[in-house]
Structure 1
């Protein structure tokens, strides 16, 4: 996806001598959510129409499609939530000062600072679940969404999706894997071992 401001936008601003426009984080969140839905639909379509690899059969195809469908439903819900949110400020301040905060928040103020480091927050979720060897991405996101504050970039914990969490954890070397969980489900999951490595601690127990 083309980012904003991109090369052409920057050149245009320079040639016209105009003031660079400030990106609204809420508008960016909407655009990111919409793009995520489109990408997941394309991936789902590709998975459905691509013949399964030899030996995987229909069950392998269904498993892959199920994971993508869950991600697509999650992304669709997030887009619907953003589109249906009420906003303030538009009638009270100039265009340059619009913040797009929801009505139950203090108008035109920057988002709150993070109340907990993301890795520590993930570690707390693992601990609350009894420190299993892995936690499903969807379950981890559901737990993190209950936290206040900002998870990373401009995303609050309450705004997290599986794709956003994956983007935030990737720099720490944490990626999801297809793992069979203690309850028998096979889901895209984060391993406790990878989280401990990211935290710089060893599992001595």
Structure 2
């Protein structure tokens, strides 16, 4: 995937003898969001048109396509918000975006209350995984899902933990204001991740309390 600026852009700047312009972080956020939308559409097209893999039935293929579609819709919504809100950064948009919050918004009085079951059990499971990993500031969505899949029982009365995907986890956590963001992890990887701060807030642990 082409990155900007790349060596050609650097060459053009050098050739013209001009000084490189400082990058606008918001423009980078829009570019990254647009690139993600394109990548998800390509993955969805491939999943919908590829012949079934050996040992994979129509139900599994449909579930995979559904998960990708949910991810594509979420990415498209984020891009729309970035394009329509000129003064907000990606982090501010992520905090304000209630695209999946179809169950109403929280008030100041509710911010310190524990979330209602059954999702509270999922939040507890997530914070335990953060603790097992040494309380990092963020955990990649893929890594969190991999860890949760080893747990017994049902996540949020929707799916078994063993059947969780990144899209399903996002759907369960979104009503609590949690969503993934591009975060550089302690190991240097930049991945779609959940922050520990957002998880603690969702559990009712407020910094102002």
Q: Could you tell me whether the CA contact under 8 Å between 1:24 and 1:100 is conserved in 2?
A: no
**2:123 matched to which residue of 1?**
129
**1:187 matched to which residue of 2?**
164
Q: Which structure exhibits the higher relative contact order, with contacts defined as CA atoms closer than 8 Å and separated by 6 or more residues?
A: 2
| CA deviation string 1:27-84 (max 9, x = no partner) | 0100111110111001000000011112221111011111111110110110011011
What's the TM-score, normalizing by structure 2? Answer: 0.49
- Aligned counterparts of 2:63 and 2:40: Cα–Cα separation in 1: 15
Q: Counterparts in 2 of 1:66-85, with a 5 A limit?
A: 66-85=66-85
Alignment coverage as a number of residue pairs: 128
CA RMSD of aligned residues (A): 4.0
Unaligned runs of 5+ in 2: 93-118, 130-136, 170-185, 187-209
Q: Could you tell me whether the CA contact under 8 Å between 2:29 and 2:90 is conserved in 1?
A: no
What's the TM-score, normalizing by structure 1? Answer: 0.50
Q: Could you tell me whether the CA contact under 8 Å between 1:181 and 1:187 is conserved in 2?
A: no
Unaligned runs of 5+ in 1: 89-98, 103-124, 136-150, 153-164, 191-197, 199-205
Q: Could you tell me whether the CA contact under 8 Å between 2:36 and 2:75 is conserved in 1?
A: yes
In the superposition, relative to structure 1, how do residues 22 and 133 fare at CA in structure 2: closer, same or farther (>3 Å)? closer
- Aligned counterparts of 1:49 and 1:128: Cα–Cα separation in 2: 34
